[in-house]
Structure 1
Amino acid sequence: MRHHSLAVIAFVVGLGLAACSSPATDTAPAAPTPVCGGTLVVAIDSDPGSLNPAATTSGGVHTASELMFNGLVGLGPDLQPVPELAESWEVLEDGALYRFHLREGVTWHDGQPFTSGDVKYSFEEVLLKLHSRTQASVGSAIQSIAASDPSTVEFRFKQPYAPLLQQLDVTEAPIVPQHLYQGTDPAKNPANMAPIGTGPYTFVSYAPGSEIRMARNGSYFEAGLPYLDEVVMRVIPDRASQVNALRGGEVDWLFGVPGPERAVLEADPAFGTLQTPINPGGSNCIMTVSFNLDRPVLQDLRVRQAISFALDRQQFVDRVLFGEGRAADAPISSGIPFAYADDLDNVVSYDPAQAERLLDEAGWKRSGDGGVRSSSGVQGVPDGTPLAINFVAFPSFNQYAELYRAQLAAVGIDVTLQPLDPPVFADTVFAQRNFDTNIISYCNGTDPEIGVKRMFLSSNISKTPFSNASAYRNPQMDALFGEAATTVDPAQRSEVYRQIQQLAVDDAPYTWVVETTATRVFRSGCEGFGPSGHFAKTAFCAPPQ
C-alpha cells in the first residue's frame, strides 16, 4: 500500500505547471504521470446546508465548497504563502501596509471579471462579519481596505500586523463575487446554494442530503489544472458505511476512517493514505469543550475545573481517535511551536478525586447512593436541584459525547446528550445560546491570531458560528491578544502567548481535550492529493482495473 505525507504536495505542484493534454516528462522515474479526465467520488459526513465558505468556519461547509473558490494566497507544502488570486505582494511600513497585485485575466465561473472590488467586498461585507476567525483577527486590527485600481488592493492596519499572509488562503479568506452578493444578506443569498467562484472546479448541482457535483474549470488560471473532469461529494453520515462504499468502489476518497478500520486499510494494497493536521475549515484543530458562562451552574470556576479534572484525555485519544492525535495539554496546539507553552502552572490533568473535592466545595453534594449530585447552598440554584447539564455536539462526534457523559457520571454529574446537525448546532449555540456544554473542533491554524483569538475576545461574543462560544469576558485577555498581534519580535510574541495560555488555564472558560490529526484514504490508482480544501486540484486517477 502507499502511505503519503505532506511532501506529496511539492511533487504535484510541479506537475500542475504542465498542460493537462501534455503532462510533464522530466520527472523522476518513479513519479506517476498525471492522467487527465475521470471522476473522483468523495464521501462527506453531513449535508453542509450552504456552499459559501466565506460566511462560516464550519468544516462541513468548507469541505464541500473550497474547491470552487480561491484565496488571495495559498499555503505551500511548508505552509508558507504562495501566489493564488494575488500573483505578488509587498509588505510595507513594517507590516502596517500590505499591497497585493492581482492576477490579470481571472474570471468568475459565470464569465465576469475578477477585480480588486471583489476582494474589498468579500472582506468588508462577508469575512469580517461572518467568518469567525477572520472577524476576530483581521477585523480587530484592520484600518482600511482600498481597491486603488482593478488589479491592486491594499490592507492598512492600525499598527504593524505580522500574521496576515497566513490568513489569506481559501480556508481563512475565500473570495466571493461582489456582483452576486452586493446589496443582499450574504448568509441568505441564493448563490450560497449554487455558488460562483474562481476555483479549479465549477458548481454543477446540489441535492441536499445526497450529493454535490462539480466540474473541471476549463478556464482556471493555473495552466493545465485541474486534471479531473468531475468531483462528486456524496453525503454518507456513517463512517462505517463510508468504508464499505470505498471497498465497494462506490467512492474514491475518505476524509477520515473509524479507528478500528485504519490499520486494515493501511495494510491493503488497494488503498493509499495521507496523514495530515490540515483540514478544509482549518488546521491544528483541538476538540474543545465550551462552557456556557451565562448559566449559573457553570459560572462557578470550581465546577468548570471539576469537569476538566473528570475528563481522562488519554481515553479520548485511545477510544475515540484510536491513537491518532494527542491529549491536549495547553490552550494552543503543539502544532504551532512558537506559541505552544508546555510550562504552564496548574494545568488540569485527569484527577477524579480532585473533581469530587471541587464539586463538594462548590455545594454540589452526593447522596448516600453515590449517584447524581444535588445543590446545597449554591448561589442562584434552589437546594436539591440535580447537577444535570446537557452536551450539544454534531452527530459525527457521538463517540466524544458518550465518553464525556460516562466520565462525568463517575463524579456525579448527569449529562444529557443532544446531537444536532451543523446548521442547527450553530444556531442553538451561537444565536440562541441554548446549551450548557458542547464540543467544537476549534482549528487553531498556523498562528494563534487565526483560530485561537476568536475563542477569547469579548468583542467576539456574537451570533457568528464558531466564535466565542463560552461568552468569555476578560479585559486582560483582550489586551494580551492585542499585544500579540502587534508584537514583531518572535521571542516576545511567544511570551505573550504563554501569558494568554496561563490566563486561559486559570479562568477555564473552556477545557481542551485532544489535538486531532486525520488519515485520508483513497483508492489505489489515484495520486497527487493535497491536504487542504484544494485537495483535488492536483489529483488524478487511473481508471479502475
Structure 2
Amino acid sequence: MNRFVVLALVALAMAGSGAAAALAVEVKETPTLAEIGFAGLPPVVERVPAEPLIVDLPSKGRRTGVHGGTLNTLIGRSRDVRLINVWGYARLVGYTADLELVPDILRDVTVEDGRVFTLHLRKGHRWSDGHPFTAEDFRYYFEDVVSNAELTPAGLPPFLMAGGKPPVFEVLDETTVRYAWQDPNPLFLPELAKASPPFIYRPAHYLKAFHARYGDAEAIARAAEAVKARGWASLHNKLDDMYNAQNPELPSLQPWVRLSADSDRRFVLLRNPYYHRVDSAGQQLPYIDRVVMTVADGKLIAAKTQAGEADLQARNLSFSDITVLKRGEAQHGYRTLLWPISKGAEISILPNLTVKDPVWRTLFRDRRFRHALSLGVDREMINRVLYFGLAKAGNDTVLSMSPLYRDEYRTKWAEYDPDRANALLDDIGLVERRGDGIRLLPDGRPLEIIVETAGESQAESDAMELVAETWREIGVKLFVKPSQRDTIRDRAISGDLVMSVWPGFENGIPTSEMPPIDFAPTSVDFLCWPAWGDYHQTGGTSGEAPDWPPAQRLMELYRAWLASASPQERERIWAEILQIHADETIHIGLVSEVRQPVVVKGVENVPEVGIYGWDPGAQFGLHRMDEFWMAGAGG
C-alpha cells in the first residue's frame, strides 16, 4: 500500500475514522455565533461536512476547549494580515507536529506509482459563505485559471509538471478529482502543505462572475473600471486573493476569515462557521471567535508585548528581546516560551561560488579554503556571547529534529582549530603575508573579504565582529558592509557580491518526502551560487551552467528526487545531498536552534516546546492554532 495512503488512514483513525466516527459524535452548536454577527445560519449539522475531521485533543496531550473570546496579536505592517491564512493552516494535506503529511481539508488521498493522485473531498463541505465546496472548484482552478494564458501567462507552475509534461486532470464525481502524470511527481503533495500553498482550488461560484468565459462582459467592465483594473484578467487576479486576505468578499476554507475592509491598521478576523474540523466532544473548531491583528511599528512590538498588549506574539520578536520580555511576565500575566527556530542555521556565511572576480572564484571553489574559513570560527564563543549557550554550534544543515539528521552533518569541519586552518591556507599556497600578518592573494592583493549584510539583524553584525577576531588569527581580514536585501541580490546577480551573511537553510527539519530545493543551485536568490540558480530558473537563457562538480552532482540529485517513485529512493538522494554539503562546507554555518520567544497570555493548548519556522511549520500552523482557546472564554 502506498505510504501516503497508510498515513491517510492513520490520520483518519486518529481523527475519528470516517463516517462511523462522524455518526458517533454529536456535533454541537457554537453558542457565540450570534453575538459575533452570525445570525440566521443553518444548523451546525448542515454547516460541517458529513464526515468532518474529528480531533481527539486528549490523545494529543491537549485539553478540550470552550468557544469564545478574542485573541490579540501585533503585526509590523498591514500586509501581514495574510498571516491569518498561514497560522490557520487549513490545507488539503498538512504536516503534523511529527512532520507526517496527512489529509486535512481532504478526506483522503490515494497515490498510484507516485504519479496518479486521486483527491477525495469531504461530502457536505462548504465555503465560508455556505456554498458547497466541490470538484468544480478544482476544475475551475485547473482549466480556467492556471491553464488560461491571460490569467497565468507563465503557464503551469513546476509542481504541476512532471518530466516536463502537465497532468491529465479529471473530475470523477462531485467530491473526487484526479491528477495523472506520465512520470512520478513527488513535488505535488508537499507543495499543497506549504505555509503559502498554491490553493489548487478556487471558489468558482464567486470568481466566475469576473471571468470572461462565464461573466457578463458589461458588468465585468464596470467592475474593472471601479478598481482601475486594466481588463477582466487584471480584475480577476486582484479579486482572486486566496493567500493575502485583501479581498474580504472572497470565500475561504480557513478557520478565521476577514469579512470587512474598514481598516488597514486593525484587522478583525472572525471564526468560519462552516469550518471542517470538530473536536471529539462535538464542538466545531476553531475555539476562538475573533483574532484581532493590530499594526504597530516593528521596533515597538517587543515593548508593546511586554506591556501586555498581545495574547499570542512571536512575530517581530527575537532572541535579544527575551530578557526584556521575562521582566514583564509577573506584572502582565504572560509566559515567554522559547521554541527552537527551524532554520538550518540562525547565521550562515555564504561565499559566492559564482563571483565574477577570477581570483575569488578559484579560491572559493577550493574546498581547502572553505574548510579553513570554517575551522577559523569559534562557534562556541559566538554561542556563549550572543545566545547564552542556548543554541547549537555547528554547520548550516538539517537539525536534530529532522529524521535525516546525522551528527557528522553538523560537526564536520566545524570545530575551532586555527592551527589546522593555517595549515590548509599554507597548503593552498597563500603563504605570503603583509606586515600586519594578513595573507596575500595570488595576484598580490591582501586577503580581505567584504561580507555584505542586509543590516536587519544586530546579531549578524555582532557575530561577524567575533568571526573577524578569529579569522585575523589565520591571516584573513573581514570587513562587514551593511546594505539592503535588494542591493545584495542585484550585486549577486551581477557577480559583484563576494560574500554575504544570511540566515541558513529555510527548512532545517526536512523529511525525505520534502523537496531538497534549498540544497541545490535551483534559485537565483541563493547567494552562494546565484548565477547557477539563475541558469536553472530561466531554463538556460541567463546565468551560468554549473561547472563545479559538486554543484553538478547536486543538480543531478535534485532532478533524481523530482523523478523518484519511492520513499527509499528519496532517502538515499537526501543522504547524498547532505553528505556533499558536510564534505564541502558550501555554507559556513555558525549556530542553529536559536530560541524564538513566543509570548502567551491567557491562551490554552499552546505547546510549551514547539517548532518555529515557515516551511514546514507555518509558524503557529503546525501546532494547530484552531485548537488554541482563551482561558476566560465560555464563562
Alignment TM-score, normalising by the size of structure 2 = 0.63
Indicate how the Cα distance of structure 1 residues 276 and 408 shifts in structure 2: closer, same or farther if over 3 A, else same: same
Q: Deviations over 1:329-372 (max 9, x none)?
A: 463333222454637996343233444454554648543224xx
Say if 2:312 is the partner of 1:253: yes
The answer as to whether partners of 2:396 and 2:588 remain within 8 angstroms in 1 is no
Aligned partners of 1:312, 1:18: CA distance in 2, in Å?
A: 59
Indicate how the Cα distance of structure 1 residues 471 and 363 shifts in structure 2: closer, same or farther if over 3 A, else same: farther
User: Quick one: which of 153, 168, 171 aligns to 2:195?
Assistant: 171
Aligned partners of 1:187, 1:450: CA distance in 2, in Å?
A: 32
Which position in structure 2 is the counterpart of 1:7? Answer: none
Say if 2:589 is the partner of 1:512: yes
Say if 2:500 is the partner of 1:440: no
Which position in structure 1 is the counterpart of 2:218? Answer: none
SS in 1 for 2:626: coil
The one-letter code of the counterpart of 2:98 is: D
The answer as to whether partners of 1:365 and 1:374 remain within 8 angstroms in 2 is yes
Q: Deviations over 1:383-440 (max 9, x none)?
A: 4366231322461x3202321243135323222242546xx47854776676431312
What displacement does 1:453 show? 1.9
Aligned partners of 1:294, 1:171: CA distance in 2, in Å?
A: 31
User: Quick one: which of 471, 478, 488 aligns to 1:414?
Assistant: 478
What displacement does 1:66 show? 1.0
The answer as to whether partners of 2:305 and 2:325 remain within 8 angstroms in 1 is no
The answer as to whether partners of 1:96 and 1:158 remain within 8 angstroms in 2 is yes
Alignment of 1:150-161 (within 5 A): 151-157=175-181, 159-160=183-184
What displacement does 1:101 show? 1.6
**RMSD over aligned Cα atoms:** 5.0
Say if 2:181 is the partner of 1:144: no
The answer as to whether partners of 2:431 and 2:439 remain within 8 angstroms in 1 is yes
The answer as to whether partners of 1:145 and 1:155 remain within 8 angstroms in 2 is yes
Say if 2:565 is the partner of 1:475: no
Indicate how the Cα distance of structure 1 residues 152 and 78 shifts in structure 2: closer, same or farther if over 3 A, else same: same
Aligned partners of 1:37, 1:426: CA distance in 2, in Å?
A: 47
Which position in structure 2 is the counterpart of 1:333? Answer: 399
The one-letter code of the counterpart of 1:254 is: Q
Which position in structure 2 is the counterpart of 1:377? Answer: 442
- Between 72-81 and 431-440, the greater mean CA deviation after superposition: 431-440
User: Quick one: which of 350, 354, 377 aligns to 1:311?
Assistant: 377
Structure 1 unaligned regions, length at least 5: 1-11, 53-62
The one-letter code of the counterpart of 2:353 is: L
User: Quick one: which of 264, 288, 291 aligns to 1:230?
Assistant: 291
Which position in structure 1 is the counterpart of 2:101? Answer: 81
Alignment of 1:71-110 (within 5 A): 71-93=91-113, 95-103=114-122, 104-107=124-127
Which position in structure 2 is the counterpart of 1:537? Answer: 626
Aligned partners of 1:427, 1:50: CA distance in 2, in Å?
A: 23
Aligned partners of 1:117, 1:268: CA distance in 2, in Å?
A: 54
What displacement does 1:83 show? 2.8
The one-letter code of the counterpart of 1:250 is: E
More strand by share: 1
Alignment of 1:175-324 (within 5 A): 175=199, 179=207, 183=233, 191=241, 192=244, 194-195=246-247, 196=250, 197-203=252-258, 204=260, 213-222=268-277, 224-226=284-286, 227-232=288-293, 234-238=295-299, 241-255=300-314, 257-258=318-319, 260-261=322-323, 264=326, 270-272=333-335, 274=337, 276-277=339-340, 283=342, 285-287=344-346, 288-295=348-355, 296=357, 297-300=360-363, 301-302=365-366, 303-324=369-390
Q: Deviations over 1:216-261 (max 9, x none)?
A: 33333335222231231544534xx544323322112222553552
Indicate how the Cα distance of structure 1 residues 264 and 339 shifts in structure 2: closer, same or farther if over 3 A, else same: closer
Larger radius of gyration: 2
The answer as to whether partners of 2:146 and 2:155 remain within 8 angstroms in 1 is no
The answer as to whether partners of 1:393 and 1:401 remain within 8 angstroms in 2 is no
The answer as to whether partners of 1:332 and 1:341 remain within 8 angstroms in 2 is no
Which position in structure 2 is the counterpart of 1:57? Answer: none
Q: Deviations over 1:143-200 (max 9, x none)?
A: 4344412643434455445675454324263517654899559999894471554311
The answer as to whether partners of 1:290 and 1:511 remain within 8 angstroms in 2 is yes
Indicate how the Cα distance of structure 1 residues 514 and 358 shifts in structure 2: closer, same or farther if over 3 A, else same: same
Indicate how the Cα distance of structure 1 residues 117 and 518 shifts in structure 2: closer, same or farther if over 3 A, else same: farther
What displacement does 1:502 show? 2.7
Aligned partners of 2:575, 2:565: CA distance in 1, in Å?
A: 16
The answer as to whether partners of 2:605 and 2:629 remain within 8 angstroms in 1 is yes
Number of equivalent positions: 500
Aligned partners of 2:382, 2:262: CA distance in 1, in Å?
A: 35
Aligned partners of 1:107, 1:407: CA distance in 2, in Å?
A: 53
- Between 495-504 and 187-196, the greater mean CA deviation after superposition: 187-196
Which position in structure 2 is the counterpart of 1:398? Answer: 458
SS in 2 for 1:144: coil
Indicate how the Cα distance of structure 1 residues 78 and 27 shifts in structure 2: closer, same or farther if over 3 A, else same: closer
Indicate how the Cα distance of structure 1 residues 345 and 250 shifts in structure 2: closer, same or farther if over 3 A, else same: closer
Aligned partners of 2:630, 2:273: CA distance in 1, in Å?
A: 18
Indicate how the Cα distance of structure 1 residues 33 and 307 shifts in structure 2: closer, same or farther if over 3 A, else same: same
The answer as to whether partners of 1:525 and 1:541 remain within 8 angstroms in 2 is yes
What displacement does 1:517 show? 5.4
Which position in structure 2 is the counterpart of 1:367? Answer: 434
- Between 250-259 and 115-124, the greater mean CA deviation after superposition: 115-124
Aligned partners of 2:26, 2:302: CA distance in 1, in Å?
A: 30
The one-letter code of the counterpart of 2:72 is: V
Q: Deviations over 1:95-148 (max 9, x none)?
A: 2222112345432679795711366488889999899xx95x776667434441
Say if 2:153 is the partner of 1:117: no
SS in 2 for 1:116: helix
Aligned partners of 1:144, 1:293: CA distance in 2, in Å?
A: 34
Which position in structure 2 is the counterpart of 1:58? Answer: none
Aligned partners of 2:97, 2:410: CA distance in 1, in Å?
A: 31
Alignment TM-score, normalising by the size of structure 1 = 0.72
The one-letter code of the counterpart of 1:201 is: W
The answer as to whether partners of 2:344 and 2:397 remain within 8 angstroms in 1 is no
